[in-house]
Amino acid sequence: MTTSIAAMGIRDIGKRLLLGRKLRNTQLGETLLPKRIALPVFASDALSSVGYAPDEIFLTLSAAGLAYYTVSWKVGIFVALVMLVVIASYRQNVQAYQSGGGDYEVATTNVGSVAGLTVASALMVDYVLTVAVSISSAAQYAASAIDPLQDHEAAVAIIAVVFLMTMNLRGVKESGTLFAVPTYIFMFSIFAMTLWGFFRYFRGTLPDSELADYSIQGTQTIVGGFGSFALIFLILRAFASGSAALTGVEAISNGVPAFRKPKGKNAAATLLLLGTIAVTMGLSILVLGNLMDVRLADVDNGVRLLDPQGKLQPVDFNQDPVIGQLAKAIFDHFLLGFYLVAASTGVILVLAANTAFNGFPVLASILAGDGYLPRQLHTRGDRLAFSNGIVLLAGFAIVLIYAFDAQVTKLIQLYIVGVFVSFTVSQTGMVRHWTRHLRNETDGATRRRMQRSRVINAIGLTVTALVLVIVLVTKFTHGAWIAILAMTVLFFVMRGIRHHYDLVARELAVDEDDLSLPSRIHAIVLVSKVHKPTLRAVAYARASRPNTIEAVTIDVDDETTKKLLAQWDETGLPVPLKVLASPYREITRPILDYVRELRRRSPRDVVTVYIPEYVVGRWWEQLLHNQTALRLKGRLLFTPGVMVTSVPFQLRSSAAAEQRADRDDSVRRSLVSGARRARARTRRAADDDHDSV
């Protein structure tokens, strides 16, 4: 006990140093985000998709050979058009629903609880996959740049998840401020690379990629050219893989409460900025990839590279991602530019997971408040973040990364199914939302605005439903079925949790019988020896004034029982001592049988069992005491009409432990106050410098 209390003090000090000081409920407003911080916090997922979505398009098309790489930029245009439609649709969502429920709230309010729960399960699976895919992709970028990390991508990814979890436990604003700089560096580096690349193209100095002389040995023969069904299916699968660029758009609708006022307007502006930047970067990379003849073979599906001499390259042949190939060629005379692009891309892929760390806990909190998830997920932690949801998300992501060995190509097949399910159901809900409000709206200007919004959401519904069908058809056998299975399981788990909470609520509801008092209270004091803890329990039981009171002991040894009866008589207590026979030397069962017999004889009586217990100060002392009492309490708690009361008796070691705990607490307070004084001195020094200037 002593060691554990001391450890608790040390853990609390470490927690404060790691996560920062606790925040009061009244400080929630201080954690709200301005648009310049909200963009990297909520949009890093969609922005980071330029790090792997172009790769997935090229990888999918590589199955048919180099001739079909020219389709990649056209696929990218369709992905961009879908993103713009979804952005326009979600700008209506965030202004109509600002509580943070996002798609879940829209679907539940306008379509029904089943639709809402379907959306919630899809989003939660998608958030977990967002973390797993983004971090795994970053680990692969890191391994391609740092040789010692190769074959250790899973370990690197797990460490990155733990780091992100820790930073998000410090609070949304603090993590967002920290991650804003690398996100803006990534945007700057990608725009600088693409602008310089197009400048060199128009000057005629744009080089080819390092693998431009290589060819690809595909695995899929296209008979009939561009009009064949096989090619159409391949292009649709490339489109489905490239649609990973749309993930993260829904996170802003779930994160509206984190924006500063006016929340809806600021969220809508952030969405527009996100769409413009992501579409521009993604299309620029695809166009440059075609101009510079990048090569990317899907080795996991049997596609291999052939060198200029026609020699088949091994499976472990190093092929940089599309951005890596572009940066290496475009900045062939400026090595720092290449490293800036490579490093910022790796970092943004890690930070993309931060979007999920902001969306998942908020959604889990809302679901917990509605009774679909454990209620522990509903409350905020020390730093006003939903700490339990953050830890839960990190745990699920680590399991996925470990199970799939941080392989992006395998993980991404599970991806985007959930997000398009939520897109489609949410847009259905928004169409019904505007239709319902139009019935009662009489103002002409307002009606025109609502009708325009309904048209936008209807277009969004049509497009996202079509993409969902394409994703399901082209990706189902490639792993999408796992995501669908996970969503189905989660759906029924949440339904089961809600059913449990509803049952408990019905059982706990007050009826007329609960207002009547029990006819009598029968008190039982358990006795093993005549000592101070026993006498204290008897005194406490008598002070509670039950109708009847008796002491009970178990006869496991005749001689011991005779001595106990003699000592009991010597005390002169006005409480009879009853001896229960136990021929098999059991202790728990005779007491349970006796208590149940009392309940059978008088069902309206309440039986209160008083159990003397030692309070010790050392962990090993706990192993030597109170084990019988612990077993008894565990069994008695399941007996209807029985109240269990522990009567503690503090030993000297417990007092010493309390003193040590007080000392640890004072040390912690002094450390915290010292840190506050240091921060205050730093602020005063900065103010003095400012005044002198």
pLDDT in the model for residue 318: 76
Q: What is the 3-state secondary structure (H, E, C) of 176-218?
A: HHHHHHHHHHHHHHHHHHHHHHHHHHHHCCCCCCCCCCCEEEC
pLDDT, residue 681, reads: 52
pLDDT of residue 324: 86
Q: Is CATH 1.20.1740.10 what the domain over 32-157+172-357+398-501 is classified as, yes or no?
A: yes
Cβ within 8 Å of residue 587, ≥6 positions away = 554, 556, 628, 632
Measure the CA–CA gap between 119 and 112, rounded to whole angstroms: 11
Please list the rounded mean pLDDT of every run of 10 residues in the chain (693 residues): 44 52 49 71 74 81 78 86 84 76 82 90 87 81 74 85 82 63 88 94 91 78 56 79 74 73 82 86 90 84 81 80 90 89 82 79 87 84 72 90 78 74 87 88 85 88 86 76 88 92 80 66 91 90 91 89 90 91 84 90 88 78 71 85 87 64 51 50 46 38
The CA distance from 176 to 170, in Å, is 10
Tell me, what's the pLDDT at 360?
86
Cα separation, 530 vs 528, in Å, equals 7
Query: Residues of 657-676 as b/e, b for ≥16 C-beta within 10 angstroms?
Result: beebbeebeeebeeebeeee
Task: Looking at the structure, give the CATH architecture of the domain made up of residues 519-650.
Answer: 3-Layer(aba) Sandwich (3.40)
Integer Cα distance of 472 and 39 in angstroms: 31
CA gap 387, 380 in Å, rounded: 6
Look at residue 3 in the predicted model and tell me its pLDDT.
43
Q: What are the domain boundaries of the chain?
A: 32-157+172-357+398-501, 519-650
Tokens 């062939």 -> residue: 332
